[in-house]
Chains A and B, each alone.
Chain A
Amino acid sequence: MRTALLNIRYIALKEIRIYFSTPMAYIVAAAFLAITGFFFVASVSDAFSEANVRGFAAGAIFFMIFLSPALTMRLLSEEQKLGTLELLLTSPLREIEVVLGKFIAAFAMLTIMLAGTLYYVVVLFVYGVPDLGPILTGYLGLLLYGAATLAVGLLASAVTPNQLVALVVGAGILTAFTVIDFVSQRVTGIAAQVVDGFQLGSSFSTSDPRSFGLAEGGHFADFARGIVSAGDIAYYISVTVVFLFLTVMALEIRRWR
């Protein structure tokens, strides 16, 4: 157990170090802050706008569909391309230690990125009287949502040595999970509820452009409103665990091929 934790830590530290020494994480963080900045400004610059982070959060979860896989695409693809996966898997390491270490590194980067957005909260407190509750639940939701998207991205990275393919596959899966309500609208009864139950974040209506950027629908909506429900938390944790498990499986299958 002790060695397992140490191994996870060593893998995570190595990845964080590479994040800071290569441009990708900086590019992703800059894009994330720029895009969410636009959403934040747009959501609070009307004369009667509410002092909250819902606008920013809606933009954040939408663009995490692309930015999370951009953070994770290198993690396992590059190991395969460089052949270093062969060294990892012939060292006394378990696959799950490799996967968890990498996931933790990506999650740490996401947390740092989100910490950058606390600036918006400061702005709210300086120029308005915001309600702290929804802001806190919003950030909790973003961390949980982020963890789920990173796990999906990590699986995509495990199945191909090509980073670009990993990015497209990861973003593709996340988009499908986000716009799954397009499907649920066309079925009825239990089926519609089940399909809806899988919705990752807020979708948008193809017929109403103004619906884009609103944190409605999906498991994120309540977090944005200041409501913490066990179902939503369980959903995001389940997605994270399932996709991390699938990532471990993908690495194990690789041995048997």
Chain B
Amino acid sequence: MIKLEHMTKMYGDFPAVIDVSVDIQKGEIVGFLGPNGAGKTTTMRVLTGFTPPTEGTASIAGYDVVDHSLEARRHIGYLPETVPLYLDMTVTDYLVFMGRIRGMNDERIKKRLPEVIDRVKLGDYQFTHIQKLSKGYRQRVGIAQAILHEPEVLVLDEPTIGIDPIQVVETRSLISELAGDHTLILSSHILPEVSAICKRVLVIHDGRIVADDEPRNLSDKLQHTERVQLAVRGPESREVVAALRALPIVIDVRNDNSAEARRVSMDGALTFIVDAKPGARAVETVAKTVVSKGWGLVNLHPLPMTLEEIFLQLTTKEDLGN
């Protein structure tokens, strides 16, 4: 459904995307994961026909985005990161206009509009000027215009950026619902978001795809250590370190000085980060050890790897992804 072949995009002398080849099948839900400036938005702009590739080709539903641009664009619903809306128009006027320029006739728009407004829950605001809507509601209008013409391919660029946490949850569940009807690409710099929604993740870094896998495999491959955060009350710091280091599964123990850790230690508890061998069930073993020593177990939970660490690993270890 979506195909990129050796696609390179240069902005002047700066390569934004370098030699990317991807094949996405109909119905797939793919996440582009990467830090800001990695090339996610540029890749999406090439796919949506906004900007042509410098080298290589891109096609949507078999139509090349340069040679058969109009046909390719007919198959796409696109929500850019900036959520572009005409602020002087009402929600309904805006959606009718977007439907028309996507080639829908008025009859079809009339039928489809209430469905879409219902789906993104904009019923109370359909005659409100977009200018008066909050960021979260504007985001919904943006999603509504992308799905209005029932495109086969849906491209959403950072769909949850800049909206409040409750709306983030709502938007994610909306996207998950949409996933069934479309081939969907979304970009994000938040790993859990991509893992929750997507069946396939492309990790993009410095314009290159550095990993392409299912979210679970990706974290398994990357997770070379199992990491837990521990807070105990009672013993001295070095006693804890000594006791845990004595465990065969433990690789390293160190004091945790993060802000969250300091908040817990206000109660007089000490916090530690414990790195253990993967698959060793570190939480259970550490808990048993603490309890058997008679210390007060205040807090114990596994820590996921941060995005920074994942990129560090992906970009410093070449054997990954194979």
Contacts and interface: CB of A to CB of B under 8 A. Distances in A.
Contacts of B49: 89-90
Contacts of A87: 78, 80, 84, 98, 145
Interface size class of B (residues with CB under 8 A): 20 to 34
A3 B49 CA distance: 19
A10 B97 contact: yes
A94 B103 CA distance: 12
Nearest to A101: B101
A92 B73 contact: yes
A3 to B, nearest CB: 7
A209 B242 CA distance: 97
A99 to B, nearest CB: 14
Main secondary structure of the interface of A (DSSP, over half): helix
A21 B90 CA distance: 11
A257 interface: yes
Interface string B51-92: 110000000000000000011011010101011111111000
Contact of A88 (B70, B89, B101): B101
Contact of A91 (B73, B85, B87): B73
Contact of A90 (B50, B85, B93): B50
Interface in A4-22: 6-7, 10-11, 14, 17-18, 21-22
Q: How big is the A interface, by class?
A: 20 to 34
Interface in A51-92: 82-92
Contacts, number: 71
B187 interface: no
Contacts of B50: 86, 89-90, 255
B245 interface: no
B82 A83 contact: yes
A92 B70 contact: yes
A82 B86 contact: yes
Contact of A92 (B82, B83, B86, B102): B102
Contacts of B83: 83
B87 A17 contact: no
Given A7-B101, A83-B84, A87-B145, A94 B51 contact: no
Interface of A: 3, 6-7, 10-11, 14, 17-18, 21-22, 82-94, 255-257
Q: Ordered nearest first, which 4 A-B pairs have the shortest CB separation?
A: A83-B84, A83-B82, A84-B84, A90-B48
Interface of B: 11, 45, 48-52, 70-71, 73-74, 76, 78, 80, 82-89, 93, 97-98, 100-103, 145
